[in-house]
Amino acid sequence: MDGPLAANSGHQGTAMALAPLAHVLYSRVMRYNPADPGWVDRDRFILSAGHASILQYAMLHLSGTSLSKDDLRAFRQWGSATPGHPEAGHIPGVEVTTGPLGQGFANAVGMAIAERLLRQKFGTEAIDHHTWVIAGDGCLMEGVSHEAASLAGHLGLDRLVCVFDDNRITIDGGTDLATSDDVPGRFRSYGWDVTELGEIGEDLDALETALKTARTPNGKPRLLVLRTHIGFPSPDHTDSHAAHGLAFSAEDVARTKAVMGIPDEPFYLPDDLVSAYRSLATSRADTARSTWESTSVDARQSADWYACFSDASVDVSSAMPSWDLGAKVATRKAIQAALDASSDLLPGLVSGSADLTGNTGTKVASFSGQSASNSDGQQVYYGIREHGMGSAMVGMALHGGILPVGGTFFVFVDYMRPPVRLAALSGARVVFVFTHDSVAVGEDGPTHQPVEQLAGLRSMPDLHVVRPADANETAIAWTDAVTHDGPTALVLSRQDVRVVTDGSAAITGAGIVGEADDDAEAIIIGTGSEVALCVDAAEVLRAAGRKVRVVSMPSWDRFRSQPAEFRNSILPPGVPTVSVEAGSTFGWHEWSDRQVGIDRFGASAPGNVALDRLGINVDAVVAAVHDVLGVAS
């Protein structure tokens, strides 16, 4: 109660009701090490109901991580270690970034997949832990939880335990305002083992028994339905929706502390209690850690372990295929060749797709399918669950030891934008493969033709976005994604694309294609399949006596990060520029004086016809160059 009161902001009600559960998890059940929160074989704890963050912060302080009492006092303040919702990488002990409801639950499914794969690869002496997640009514209402729960049940992820905080309260009021789902029945239909615990939220021994029973693998993920009372033991706000999102007043807090029999003192933390708590946590951690260190030596000395868990990046560039200039290859096929060529060097690679495995080039030839009966399969068939796929991939990446790659059509990034955003926010090393990248999709029409999606992804902070010109740029973009310290979006073509580059621009963000034309009157900048079109337009212009340079710019963010001297060598100041991209021109004014693009939705027609009729053709590029030069076509 004290944190939200000091901040005049926050959610204390859920945290109050779950305090006994959190106490039992941290002090009696979970396997973790406060002195080394990043220990590889720790249990993972995810507070999917991230609005109750003060609960997790309290437990991290009590158990002896680096989170201090002053950090608790600074709850929700600028620059504090205790932000409004838990953020991965912000403080030790927080595994994933939770805030948008349901994301943490779906991340937990990915973590459970990661644990299973690594356990199969390295053995139970090295990897054998559980993923614990607390989810509320809001988490399980959100659609992503349905996708992720169905996948988890199908895969039989039996090291995954979810406690459903069944408090029957939302911000608007009781859950009966909006839903009458049979949650236990729903999860049983997904293939989960469901236990309805009833009213044991204050019974520590009963909670311990239930949690330890759920820890025993039985081939199914577990859902424990715990009936709680939000705001308990407040005499004024127990079972009230006001306890959810509104900070208690000082009087509310004082009256509740009187019921609890503790002093009305802010952040009351008796030294003897904290000392005893930390002593217990340290004793349990030392026992678990010493056993693990003695039994996992062989696995931890293997080359595969080093490749999965060391901070050193794996260089796969020498294994990459290359293509001759003039060859015609769809970049979605080039990524598959790159994945196949590097799979032996990346033991933690996991590839998959939302029911578009062959279409997106994400089927790795040497991988078998992950399933309940084939738990070491590194090919995940996510089904038609883009949102669940993206969130599970973020969970895998943040678990550690896994490099997840997942593909779908580019237009469906709209179904998975929350996990893409959270991957960027948390620095998760995920590779999102988006294919069928323009109106060249053709006959499927505007519902499947992305025009605005690329501009949207480019606007997202800390997301590395690459739209390669051809197969060579695609292969090199993959080598870069493998070593990048955050998420990468590879935006690839459905149709065959003429090879026109050596691929190097994928590293620097932009590069000159063909002749440098140091005295160029104008520069044509393209991305993706349009770079070949720029080359064709340049030939027409040169034949007419114009000096032009062609630049491939697969990655704005990477080019923007280059030294000014390099950027000026590619795009010399004062030289007029024309950009060419089969999508929205939004944002291109940073790089070009004239834009050839598509600022409308597409149309159903063969791909080459759609491109031509929407103005992505040589004539339009030539006209734009003449226009920027102020001369007649």
Query: In total, how many domains does the chain have?
Result: 3
**Residue 245: what pLDDT?**
83
Average pLDDT, rounded, for the chain: 97
Torsion of CA 116, 120, 121, 123, to 10 degrees: 110
Same domain? For 90 and 121 the reply is: yes
Domain coverage including residue 38:
2-294
- Number of other CB atoms surrounding residue 449 within 10 Å: 28
Same domain? For 479 and 510 the reply is: no
pLDDT per position as a tens digit, 343-385: 999 999 999 999 999 999 999 999 999 999 999 999 999 999 9
In a domain, 305, yes or no: no
Q: What is the mean predicted confidence (pLDDT) over 25-34?
A: 97
Catalytic choice (386, 473, 530, 581): 386
Same domain? For 512 and 394 the reply is: no
539 is catalytic: no
Predicted structure pTM score: 0.98
Q: Shortest CA distance to 406 belongs to which of 351, 361, 360, 447?
A: 351
Res 553 pLDDT > 90: yes
* Domain CATH number, residue 552: 3.40.50.920
In a domain, 39, yes or no: yes
Same domain? For 511 and 442 the reply is: no
- Contact of 393 with 364, CB cutoff 8 Å: no
Same domain? For 112 and 9 the reply is: yes
Question: Going by C-beta distance under 8 Å and a sequence separation of 6 or more, which residues neighbour residue 114?
Answer: 350, 395, 396, 399, 400, 401, 402
Same domain? For 86 and 218 the reply is: yes
Same domain? For 487 and 622 the reply is: no
Using CA of residue 413, residue 418, residue 419, residue 420, what is the dihedral sign? positive
Same domain? For 154 and 200 the reply is: yes
**Residue 438: what pLDDT?**
98
Res 632 pLDDT > 90: no
Same domain? For 190 and 110 the reply is: yes
pLDDT per position as a tens digit, 164-194: 999 999 999 999 999 999 999 999 999 999 9
Q: What is the mean predicted confidence (pLDDT) over 32-42?
A: 96
pLDDT per position as a tens digit, 281-339: 999 999 999 999 999 999 999 999 999 999 888 999 999 999 999 999 999 999 999 99
- Contact of 481 with 555, CB cutoff 8 Å: no
pLDDT per position as a tens digit, 385-427: 999 999 999 999 999 999 999 999 999 999 999 999 999 999 9
Res 205 pLDDT > 90: yes
Res 496 pLDDT > 90: yes
Same domain? For 375 and 281 the reply is: no
- Contact of 135 with 177, CB cutoff 8 Å: no
Q: Which of 498, 525, 554 is the last residue of a domain?
A: 498
**Residue 312: what pLDDT?**
81
**Residue 247: what pLDDT?**
85
Helices 13-24, 53-63: axis angle to 10 degrees equals 40
* Domain CATH number, residue 8: 3.40.50.970
In a domain, 306, yes or no: no
Q: Which of 478, 498, 518 is the last residue of a domain?
A: 498
Res 633 pLDDT > 80: no
Q: Which of 259, 294, 329 is the last residue of a domain?
A: 294
Same domain? For 85 and 222 the reply is: yes
Same domain? For 569 and 594 the reply is: yes
